[in-house]
Amino acid sequence: MSTTFDASVTGVIAPEETDGTSFPTTSPAPDGAVTPVAPLVRHRQIALWLSLGWIGIVVFFVVFAGLLPIPRYDAIIEGLKPRAAPHLGFPELLGTDTLGRSVASRLIYGARQSLTIGVASTALAMLAGLTIGSLAGYFRGPIDAAVSVLLDAILSIPGLLLLLAIAAVGQRNIPTIVVGLAILGVPTFARLARATTLSLVDREHVMAAKAMGARHHRIILRELLPDVVLRILSYAFFFLAAIIVVEASLSFLRLGIPPPQPSWGAMINDGRPDLQTHPYLVFIPAACIVFTVAAFTVIGDWLRRRFDAVSFGAAG
């Protein structure tokens, strides 16, 4: 999946899609693959544990931010100049930003923002995409055609434009941004759900349920969805990884949550003019983004191996 605005956040071709078994008649799942970094046999375990560890640390800080002895993220630290370098003494381990606020505090609250937006929009996109996709895959016909039009419409709007417009219309707060990002993610979740539904619809247990006269919603909910969810769960992590980058890009373009709410992308943008003199202002938040995205990608890749073993075959 393309992870920036230079291509919309729209799609993933999970490799197993491409062996022809589950292809929809309209275009294949669009857009690029988030290169799920697949650490290789001996290193995979290490990478997985590292990733889980990093995510664990991030989640810890996000959850307990309020209890930690860190200054407020919008307060200017008395006694320290702005753009102070990280140093090993307290109080400011990671230095101050361009206005003199605590970098450590802003990193932590920025993580809270990134993760909240990421998880919420992923969940929303997955929910909406699952619903639309499996309905389209199950019922076919005009529902399928209508869904196809809708998905193509979303995909052909430049992502940034859509977010710009949504950000301008709604208020600049988390729900608006979550909705905007979720909309961008719906097409791929929907396509995946549809493709998986199509491939499962001929399975025996579904046929059996139909033969026994089960109602549609029962079939969908009981027989199809659990499998579909498992299959696309790995993609959810790839999407999450990409959303974190997209959110950073949004903040970079000043379209994200307004200040003083910190965001890793905004921190990078703030530090940009000082890149030559104070490079840490850019590299510290950039490193956070890289580690977090890589971690989610590794986890997603592990999930894919685990639950898609059937169609995964011998790929890598």
Partner 1 sequence: MPRLIARRLAHIVLVLLVVSFALTFLVNLTPGDPAYSILGEQATDEQVAQVHKDLHLDDSVPSRYGRWLSDIGEGNFGTSYVTKRPVMDAITEALPATAELVLLTILLSLAVAIPIGVYTAYRPDSRFDRFWVLVSSLFVSLPSFVVALVLVYIFALLLQNFPIHFPVTGWERLTDSPGENLWYITLPVIALSLQQIPQFARLLRADMIATLHEDYILAARSKGVSTRRILFRHALRPSSFSLVTLAGLNLGHLIGGAVIIETLFALPGIGSLTVNSVLSKDIAVVQGVVMLVAIVYVVVNTLVDVTYGYLDPRVRVRKA
Partner 2 sequence: MGGRSGTFGASTRLGLVALALAGAMAVSPGIASAENATAPKPKSGGTVTFSYMSEPASFLPDAGLGAQVGLGGSERFAIYDALAMLTTKGDVEYRLAESMTSTTNDTVWTVKLRKGRVFSDGTPVDASAVQYNWSRIADPAQRSPSAPIAQGIASMNVVDPTTLEVTLKEPNAQFPELIGQSSLTFIASPTAWEAAGQAFGSSPVGAGPYVFKEWQRGAQLTLERNPKYKGKTHLDQIVVKYIPDETQRLNTLTTGGVDIDLTGDLQAATSAKQQPNLADFQVAQSGGINIFFNFTKPPFDDLRARQAIAYAFDPKAMDDALNGGAAMLAPNLFLKDSEFFADIGQPKPNKKKAQDLFDKFAAEGKPIEFSVQTSQTFQKIAEWFQARLSSFKNVKMNVEPVSATQQTTNWQTGNFTLAFSSVPRFIDPAPALSNALETGGVSNYGKYSNPEVDAAFKKARTSNEVAARKDAYDAVQRIQVKDLPSFFFQHVVVHILYNKSKLQGVAAVGDGIPRWDRMSTKGS
Show contacts with partner 1 in window 160-189 (CB under 8 A): 160-162, 164-166, 168-169
When CB distances are held under 5 to 8 angstroms depending on the partner's kind, the choice from partner 1, partner 2, none that residue 98 binds is partner 2
d(CA 151, CA 28): 12
- Residue 74 binds partner 2 (CB under 8 A): yes
50 neighbors 90 (Cβ within 8 angstroms):
no
> According to CB under 8 A, which residues from 268 to 287 bind partner 1?
268-269, 272, 275-276, 282, 286
Give the phi and the psi of residue 315 in degrees, each rounded to 5.
Answer: -70, 110
Encoded tokens for 52: 């889980």
Largest CA distance in the chain: 76
When CB distances are held under 5 to 8 angstroms depending on the partner's kind, the choice from partner 1, partner 2, none that residue 166 binds is partner 1
Residue 294, Cβ density class (10 Å: 0-12 exposed, 13-18 middle, ≥19 buried): middle
CB nearer partner 1, residue 63 or residue 161: 161
Cβ atoms < 10 Å from Cβ of 315: 13
Q: Which of 133, 159, 187, 262 binds partner 1 (CB under 8 A)?
A: 159
Q: Which of 153, 208, 221, 309 binds partner 1 (CB under 8 A)?
A: 153
Select from 5, 4, 8, 2 the least CA-distant residue to 157.
Answer: 8
Using CA atoms in the order 26, 193, 12, 116, what is the torsion angle rounded to 10 degrees?
A: 140
**Residue 8 three-state SS:** coil
193 neighbors 129 (Cβ within 8 angstroms):
yes
- Residue 85 binds partner 2 (CB under 8 A): no
Q: Which of 13, 14, 101, 219 binds partner 2 (CB under 8 A)?
A: 101
- Residue 35 binds partner 1 (CB under 8 A): yes
- Residue 234 binds partner 1 (CB under 8 A): no
CB nearer partner 2, residue 53 or residue 273: 273
- Residue 253 binds partner 1 (CB under 8 A): yes
Applying CB under 8 A, the span of 72-80, 117-125, 224-232, 261-269 interacting with partner 1 comes to: 261-269
Q: Which of 127, 165, 168, 290 binds partner 2 (CB under 8 A)?
A: 168
- Residue 82 binds partner 2 (CB under 8 A): yes
d(CA 279, CA 86): 11
- Residue 75 binds partner 2 (CB under 8 A): yes
Q: How far is the CB of 168 from partner 2 (least distance, A)?
A: 8
- Residue 134 binds partner 1 (CB under 8 A): no
**Residue 141 three-state SS:** helix
Helix (H) / strand (E) containing 288: helix 280-307
Q: Please, what sign has the CA dihedral across residues 6, 9, 10, 13?
A: positive
- Residue 305 binds partner 2 (CB under 8 A): no
When CB distances are held under 5 to 8 angstroms depending on the partner's kind, the choice from partner 1, partner 2, none that residue 172 binds is partner 2
Give contact residues for partner 2 (rule: CB under 8 A). 72, 74-76, 82, 98-101, 168, 172, 254, 258-260, 272-273, 275
